[in-house]
Amino acid sequence: MSTGSDSVAPAGTAEAVGDTGGPDFDVVVAGAGFAGLYLIHRLRGLGLSVRVYETADDVGGTWYWNRYPGARCDIQSIDYSYSFDPDLHSEWTWSEKYATQPEILGYLHHVADKHDLRRDIQFSTRIDRAVWDDAAAQWRIALSTGDEVTCRHYVMATGCLSMPKAPEIEGTERFAGDIYFTSRWPHEGVDLTGKRVGVIGTGSSGIQSIPLMAEQAAQLTVFQRTPNFSIPAHNGPIPEAKLDAVAGRQADYREEARWSRGGVPGEAYEMSALTVSEEERQERFEAAWESGELFEIIGVFNDILGNQQSNDLLSEFLRGKIRSIVDDPATAELLCPTDHPFGTKRPCLDTNYYQTFNLPHVELVDLRTNPIERITETGIDTAEKSFDFDVIVFATGFDAMTGAIVAVDIVGRDGVTLKDKWADGPKTYLGLTSVGFPNLFLVTGPGSPSVLSNMAVSIEQHVDWIADCLDTMRREGYTTIEPTDPAEAGWVQYVNDYGDITLYPRANSWYMGANVPGKPRVFLPFVGGVDRYRAICDEVAERGFVGFALDGPAGSTRSEEVVRRIQPDVELVLEAMEALGLPPIETMSVDEARAFMEASNEMRPPGPEVGEIVDGTLDGADGDLDYRLYRPATAGPHPIVAYFHGGGWVLGSADSDDPFCRDLCVRADAVVVSVNYRHAPEARFPAAADDGLAAVRWIADHAEELGGIPGRLAVCGWSAGGNVAAVTCQLARDAGGPAIVGQVLLNPVVDCDMTRSSYEENADGYILTESLMRWFWDHYADPEDRLDPKASPIRASSLAGLPPALVVTCEFDPLRDEGAAYVDALAAAGVEARHLPNRGHTHTSLMAVDLVLTGEPARVEIARTLRDFLAAATWDAAVPA
């Protein structure tokens, strides 16, 4: 091989991983920015040979290229720095809270010099192609110099915002003046003094550079397609508070950053914007605005990126600020973002951005009403006007996160290119690796927190993970590593699930790939947080590379496990509950458990408004029972759903599933009558079952006076209530009525057998535990009674003739398998029975209306099914055989 340069060390300075005879380098890296530099240091430290190829003629990556006026980081300088060498903190003094591009570049030069990193970098060299050679288990890397080298592992450290987007505007080649891209600003700088300047783009680059360009230019015209949210940076010296936070405890401070949400230490504020007073809300908004920190404003309340209403409040506050700064009301309105929730496009930090529009020589052109038609010899023609310029500046952004990766022709196993594999959106495992591309690693790739976090922290985490992985492989005798299909598909799903519970998909942002024409619309980063993500990556490695196949002299291992299957909002609820450290219900007395459940229910979101709520009593099997009736706001009469609440026959009441009953009432457009059947241990088996039958009888007999349509009666129940509903259907069938047109059983108890796999898999950790279920059974029924179909409806001698059924189960529920078994048994008996399994949900999560948003599709389907049952009902069809 030829290195194409004399300035770099010879290849193979250390043993290649696993196979000494093989490749030129253990590791080849594309890019000498923050990531590439640290990779050299870490991999060298392991005794691996590493060669970095860099297109530029020096180190710096993004900070090498983005030299436009005003370019600076918008994470505080101290945080946006390496932690691997603690001495850097004392050696390098940042002059400002937010360092300028020259200062950050200077810092990277210092790091490169101090650790003698340049000797492993070949500058002015692009990697054009990387081809996996399966037989040799190595990558063949084709360089722009015409040389080819081989390596065992190939790392893309090319940055997320490094591939400039094409101008997309006709006529750029015609323009007689100068054209500049903020992302490729000339090193010698540009003197705009006295010039007529047009700037296209109002993202971070535009917003940072426009005030400084306005200081020089004779005339500055800003072409804005989408106004962006920006808050003042309040730049200046490093804040005392930041210095104090690090002083004498740098190691702890860095560790806090690693385990923080965004890669910057700080307390997360765990209140919704909707739960505080107007006064407190405005105070917090004001303080966040004054902080001049992105994470402060994004995290001002815990639901800014999850709840449209909360976001609207902050967005309006920020629009108010813009209106108060910009003198001309029409210009102010144009600068006010209204087409996306705050934060769903990357917000900016600025210095005098909005004030710049008060200057007489600065003009704002709204491209929504007056689009650019072409660039001409002399300037820019819009639909309404021609502008003459000496200089046009493109601040139009990047093909983010994937652009620089697929710009290299990466060819994996069987000749498949990464570009083709990612044609419908990137598919990675952990944002680090991709199936079909063994020994390829991506630093801060799509599917990792990356651009949503402090990049310095996320880069170090990825480099450390990769380095530790290669070290383990070498020690254990593996040559190749590649994720497996199920693991990757599961990760892509998890990343999408997280994105889907946020407001991010509502914006046409580069996070969504929406800024590049033709790019698939996929939410690119992982939004679950740096801390959660780090824990997952650590777990993957600690448990022997979950989701990976490894191969080498040591043999082969293969894991197809999906590392996280749980729905993100369910995970958040479980974590919040765990943090409370509550004692298990089964360790409480019945009274304590009931009080606990009532108190927990108080804290839930209330669910939707319904037309009317009426509390009453009905005839049970042995005396009056309370009920709560939910009536839709639509004109009646309505069909009726008799509803049986959950609570293990011990806990709960007519209103204990209130949010769900409201949701059901609205979505199914039915009267829902929630029945407070008798509870154990006061009334043990078969009290609940007998009450179920008595209640539906009473409801059927009183349908008209309840505002219902006689004959259109379905039953629904959750958990033990699902048990009561299922049993009621059997008892009604056997008794010759009342007619029930359908049954919807949510996570029902249908069998006393606790040996099915779901009991074993989900015995603990998902709220309904095996021991809690045992506690419920013990209170409800003696062991011999549990075999009775009135307790275990799956044990009925015949299931024929029962109403059509929908049985809803959840993946992480001990009761999952018995629910599934009941569907099979019903179908085998000729009953029209459908199963609705819910991936990543727990026993309780579908009930969590307005809390577990990923449960909504199931709630929609439940209501739709009930509507169908009730609509198809005729008295004749509903009368049991």
Contacts with ligand NAP, residue ranges (CB under 6 A) = 72-74, 161, 168-169, 200-206, 208, 225-226, 346, 367, 395-398, 451, 510, 515
Q: How far is CA 204 from the centre of its chain?
A: 23
> Shortest gap between Cβ of 418 and ligand NAP (angstroms)?
23
Q: Which residues contact 117 (CB under 8 A, 6 or more apart)?
A: 37, 40, 41, 59, 111
Quick one: 526 or 775, whose CB is closer to ligand NAP?
Answer: 526
> Shortest gap between Cβ of 248 and ligand NAP (angstroms)?
29
Which residue minimizes CB distance to ligand NAP?
203
Contact (Cβ atoms closer than 8 angstroms) between residue 41 and residue 115: yes
> Shortest gap between Cβ of 524 and ligand NAP (angstroms)?
12
Quick one: 74 or 817, whose CB is closer to ligand NAP?
Answer: 74
536, amino acid identity: I
Quick one: 351 or 433, whose CB is closer to ligand NAP?
Answer: 351
Quick one: 505 or 568, whose CB is closer to ligand NAP?
Answer: 505
Quick one: 205 or 444, whose CB is closer to ligand NAP?
Answer: 205
User: How far apart (Å, rounded) are the C-alpha atoms in residues 156 and 169?
Assistant: 30
> Shortest gap between Cβ of 59 and ligand NAP (angstroms)?
18
Q: Which residues contact 695 (CB under 8 A, 6 or more apart)?
A: 618, 620, 625, 627, 642, 673, 675, 677, 728
Quick one: 76 or 150, whose CB is closer to ligand NAP?
Answer: 76
Angle 113-115-117 from CA coordinates, rounded to 5°: 75
Owner of token pair 């969590």:
848
Quick one: 527 or 563, whose CB is closer to ligand NAP?
Answer: 527
862, amino acid identity: I
> Shortest gap between Cβ of 207 and ligand NAP (angstroms)?
7
> Shortest gap between Cβ of 446 and ligand NAP (angstroms)?
14
Contact (Cβ atoms closer than 8 angstroms) between residue 56 and residue 123: yes
> Shortest gap between Cβ of 262 and ligand NAP (angstroms)?
13
Backbone angle region of 293, left / alpha / beta, with phi > 0 → left and psi within -120 to 50 → alpha? beta
> Shortest gap between Cβ of 4 and ligand NAP (angstroms)?
32
Helix, strand, coil percent values for the chain (each to nearest 5)? 35, 20, 45
Quick one: 122 or 226, whose CB is closer to ligand NAP?
Answer: 226
> Shortest gap between Cβ of 338 and ligand NAP (angstroms)?
13
> Which helix (H) or strand (E) is 623 found in, with range?
strand 623-631
> Which helix (H) or strand (E) is 571 found in, with range?
helix 568-580
Quick one: 180 or 545, whose CB is closer to ligand NAP?
Answer: 180
Quick one: 372 or 680, whose CB is closer to ligand NAP?
Answer: 372
> Shortest gap between Cβ of 68 and ligand NAP (angstroms)?
8
Q: Kind of pairing, strands 409-411 and 127-133?
A: parallel
> Shortest gap between Cβ of 522 and ligand NAP (angstroms)?
16
Task: Write down how long the chain is.
Answer: 881
Q: In the structure, how many helices (H) and strands (E) does the chain have?
A: 27, 29
Strand partners, 53: 30, 122
Quick one: 101 or 844, whose CB is closer to ligand NAP?
Answer: 101
Quick one: 459 or 744, whose CB is closer to ligand NAP?
Answer: 459
User: How far apart (Å, rounded) are the C-alpha atoms in residues 297 and 401?
Assistant: 24
> Shortest gap between Cβ of 369 and ligand NAP (angstroms)?
13
> Shortest gap between Cβ of 508 and ligand NAP (angstroms)?
7
- b vs e for 496-516, b when ≥16 Cβ sit within 10 Å of the residue's Cβ? bbbbbbbbbbebbbbbbbbbb
Q: Which residues contact 23 (CB under 8 A, 6 or more apart)?
A: 16, 136, 138, 139, 149, 150, 151, 152
Quick one: 225 or 258, whose CB is closer to ligand NAP?
Answer: 225
Q: Kind of pairing, strands 548-552 and 440-442?
A: unpaired
Backbone torsions φ then ψ of 800, nearest 5 degrees: -65, 150
Quick one: 36 or 397, whose CB is closer to ligand NAP?
Answer: 397
- b vs e for 330-359, b when ≥16 Cβ sit within 10 Å of the residue's Cβ? ebbebbbbeebbbbbbbbbbbbbbbbbbee
Owner of token pair 């059924």:
805
**Number of alpha carbons in the 13 Å side-chain half-sphere of residue 723:** 30
Sign of CA dihedral 618, 621, 624, 626: negative
> Shortest gap between Cβ of 364 and ligand NAP (angstroms)?
12
